[in-house]
Amino acid sequence: MSNPLLNLPLLPAFDQLQPSQVAPAIAELIDNCRDQLEKGLENPDWDNTLAPLEEAQDRLNRAFSPVSHLNSVLSGPWREPYEAALAEVTAYWTELGQNRDLYGVYRQLAESPEFADWPQARRQAVKLGLRDFELSGVGLEGDARERFAANSRRLAELSSQFANNVLDATNAWTYHTEDAAELSGLPQTALAAAGAAAQSRNLPGWVITLEGPSFLAVMTHADNRALRERVHRAFVSRASETGPDGGKFDNSSVMEEILKLRAEQAKLLGMESYAELSVASKMAPDTDRVLEFLNDLAERAKPAAEREFAELKAFATDNLGLQELKPWDIPWAAEKLKQERYAISQEELRPYFPYEKVLAGLFAVVEKLFGVTAEADDSVATWHEDARFFWLTRNGERIAGFYLDAFAREKKRGGAWMDTVSTRRQTESGLQLPIAYLVCNFSPPISAAGAPAAGGEPSLLTHNEVTTLFHEFGHGLHHMLTKVDVADVSGINGVAWDAVELPSQFLENWCWQPEAIAMMSGHYKTGEPLPAELLDKMLAAKNFQSAMFTVRQLEFALFDFLLHSRNTGASAEEIQQLLNDVRKRVAVVPSAAENRFQHGFAHIFAGGYAAGYYSYKWAEVLSADAFSLFEEKGIFDRATGEKFLHSILEKGGSREAEDLFTEFRGRAPKIDALLRHSGIEQLALNTDPG
């Protein structure tokens, strides 16, 4: 039987994939890449060397992509083959990054007289390639060269181990009860989900888990303070040495080794810290500029955050009988205050945001802005019954596609993300279309059998989840709407990491526009539009505790950047101390003694955000400023939408991010719109990013 990972149709054959197919396919494809490189070096130029190598590596990427994806959304039998393949793929890319013959080809091309006349995408691919060779240790000699390669391989293993520990710790803890009184305050949707979770485990009553929808429902709505405390302590201590599963999935030593190796990688390249190494490929000019940006924003946001928290404490004392606001009280008390002040809650909005209606509204917004249509294709094989496939079309022609896996389930990685299936590129047989994965963890539909109390309900989203869906689709559009045909700078490839959040955060803005909200909302039973009174309250509450949210994000960003600014690694105790110090400077809310946020901080220890979490705030300046042009011209102004499409989405990584932004906005980015949108515009900053 042929191996579907070697046949490589545009869309993976998920109905045929087996874990046993991974190792032989990856080994063969890596061998093909090495053979192609050797052949290409015989007569080096773009057509003989780089183009055929891109073809071979694209086949490797498209085979590894579904393996990596299945490990994230199903785990189980895919973990072991994924980790073995990851080791081989990492070894190949590390070897390639240190190949001096190939580096010499890039230099030769860049220095050739005709280089200036090349297409922009090719020139940028060569320019970024040279940078990446240098950051991959191509100039190292002897032991240093071997050490850098070994560190790269080990870092890939450790990142996977970190993510596994977080997932296993999340799945390991549950709380079972048959006493309905314990769950007082939980909305019907959360009770139905807890009932379904119990039934799936052959238990009576209800089961609370640490999956996002369950955890958030308890922390926001459970009147039972002891239950909130129990769930909070379990969640914040995941994958650490403390808490109910303390030591079982502990990431302490994993973090220590990751930081040690990252610091060593930077030192081998002659840099002061991993933060310096990280920023070398970003939009920010240097590490000082990043810290200046974060500290400046923190200094001005913290006074507003302190006022917001003081209001919350006073409300909790006067109205809720809480003399001391504990960490597990804060979301619950904040929800009570929000209802008191605005008479609105996320749960009250849920019935008006059924998932299918929101999805149709998202597609309608994107069609009005960019002239593309999403069409479901249920004939495409997927990995789970929840996952669906859609084509993106323009004028009836397919230009891209995406898989959408929207609902939380056991053994699926938490959070939300976009990843690539295939990249737009020109091949000998024609244009390869870009295909994406879009993954979220919303509350799933509840069948009548699974939840007798609810009688069967569709998936109903909070407005926060609506913005998450728009955010991930913004990433997807950046990948899918590219017009670039060179893989290294097509879609999100080659885009500076601190600018990659621009399209995602940009698209979130339509979740707050009444004209757009009307397109994505309607009562799930009656179809009745979101009442004007509820809409007004939702918009009025938009910036509720926005300064508290801002300093929370700055806490994460500063901790990450300062941690990676050390010129050595850090022990688990030093990591905790640094986080404590950052919290003293910028945080306004208390933390539980066993809070080990860092042990689950997958963005920086298992994702691409090491010394880069600041990117969310940096790009938020860009996205708010970009949207301000729509505020001037009209939120569905087609000319402005086309301008964003042509200047940002279609260009991918083919030009510098700042140049593309300036092309769209007609000037460098300004902070003003972000401050206005977040309700803290009076806290004018002295400087603007990049």
The sign of the torsion formed by the CA atoms of 617, 435, 462, 447 equals negative
Single out the catalytic residue among 54, 276, 347, 472: 472
The candidate with the shortest Cα–Cα distance to 622, out of 584, 579, 582, 656, is 656
Bridge partner residues of 207 (DSSP) = 176
The candidate with the shortest Cα–Cα distance to 478, out of 357, 657, 346, is 657
Q: Give the tokens for residue 620.
A: 């938020």
* Single-letter code of the amino acid located at 388: R
- Strands 397-407 vs 425-427: parallel, antiparallel or unpaired: unpaired
Cα distance between residue 294 and residue 498, in whole Å: 13
Cα distance between residue 150 and residue 254, in whole Å: 16
Q: Give the tokens for residue 360.
A: 């149709």
Q: Which residues of 108-137 are buried (b: 16+ CB within 10 A; e: fewer)?
A: ebeeeeeeeebeebbbbbbbbbbebbebbb
Alpha-carbon distances of 574 from 101, 428, 562, rounded to whole Å: 42, 54, 12
Q: What count of Cα atoms within 13 Å lies in the side-chain half-sphere of residue 200?
A: 16
Cα distance between residue 311 and residue 634, in whole Å: 36
> Judging by beta carbons within 10 Å of its beta carbon (0-12, 13-18, 19+), is residue 464 exposed, middle or buried?
exposed
Catalytic residue flag (residue 472): yes
Cα distance between residue 386 and residue 392, in whole Å: 20
For residue 140, how many other CB atoms are within 10 A of its CB? 17
For residue 178, how many other CB atoms are within 10 A of its CB? 10
* Torsion-angle region of 679 (φ positive above 0: left; ψ -120 to 50: alpha; else: beta): left
* Single-letter code of the amino acid located at 386: D
Q: What count of Cα atoms within 13 Å lies in the side-chain half-sphere of residue 295?
A: 8
Q: Which residues are catalytic?
A: 472
